[in-house]
Structure 1
Amino acid sequence: VVSHSHQMCKICLLALFTAHLTSRSTTDIQDPPPKCKQPLILGDCKASKRRYYYDAERKRCFVFIYSGCGSNGNNFDSFRECYEECEKTEVPGVNRYEPCFCPSLPPPAISDFLRDYCDQPLDVGCCNKDLPRFYYDYSSRTCKEFIYSGCGGNGNNFLDLYQCVFECHPSGKDNFNTPSFPLNLKNNQMFEVKIYLKVALVFLGSVLAFVRTQWESP
């Protein structure tokens, strides 16, 4: 006996297939705005800002690191903004803004599309700064700290442990309720203390060198 949900699923898939065959005209499929077809431009400044752009060939929005100036219109502050402007207009059919899903399966969330950059490898960038950041290690399924150089790199770069876990960890917010998570926060605090001590030692060394120079001078 076929359950009601499976019957609804078959009807849903049949409706999708029918809509796909009958809605290929230019009146049903909207072309994205011209700015969505502009090439990706990282810019020529030294900032490091997470932005999103639309890839016209792959018909998807992707994250990138924006330098802060010299870009074009294909540069969005959030994935949702990029999706609303460019991606969803490419989906054919009368109900192209509201895809059909089987009743027995939950629809994909917007956050599922945000995780492309979580699979990217660690990239410290190409400048000379020492900025504590976090990245998602896909092999171990954990967020780890690293030292970011200040420019370049990729989207797998988070300001704090919370943001990394929220966006990339499979358990998301639920991971904050696990017994092991406070330990990770303690490790994060120790990591920050080490950075501060390193800066303090460098500063102290500079002061001592200056005092010694003044003392030895005639």
Structure 2
Amino acid sequence: MDSTGRLALMFLPLLMIGAAPGHLVQEHIGNNAEICLLPPDEGPCRARIPSYYYDRYTQSCRQFIYGGCKGNANNFETWAACHEACRRIEKVPHICRLEVNENICEEPREMYFFNLMTMTCEKFMSVGCSHNGNQFSDKASCMDFCAPKKTLKKGKKKKMPRLRFA
């Protein structure tokens, strides 16, 4: 077999699946949180392929340079493919998207922060004198502030409460 034939056999599996590694996620449906909330990963190769990832902090699709191998599933060929896969990710307030801040300068106390990966409030021991805002004294106030709010579907109107005047 000549070198052209060997080269064709090497790329046959990629041709059969129809996509390069890292671009396979475009067929997923649902809210894709397990994919879209991953950090961007260009991988170890150096192909310099313009690609898109969902940025969990800006809550939008952004361009990055993909190396062409490995990386992770938060990697899309086009902005439209990224948007389609990740548009159902529920939006949360800015401070709830910040990492937990654990500066040490006072007695430890139990606090809660909103974890964007799990979309829930989690306990941690605060030992900081300053924080970034993603810190709440109890789980209920954390969830009230940070949990994604359901939006009304088009065509459905929210009923206003009846008011009575004396």
TM-score using structure 2 length:
0.36
Query: Which has more strand, going by share of residues?
Result: 2
Which one has a bigger Cα radius of gyration? 1
Query: Which has more helix, going by share of residues?
Result: 1
TM-score using structure 1 length:
0.28
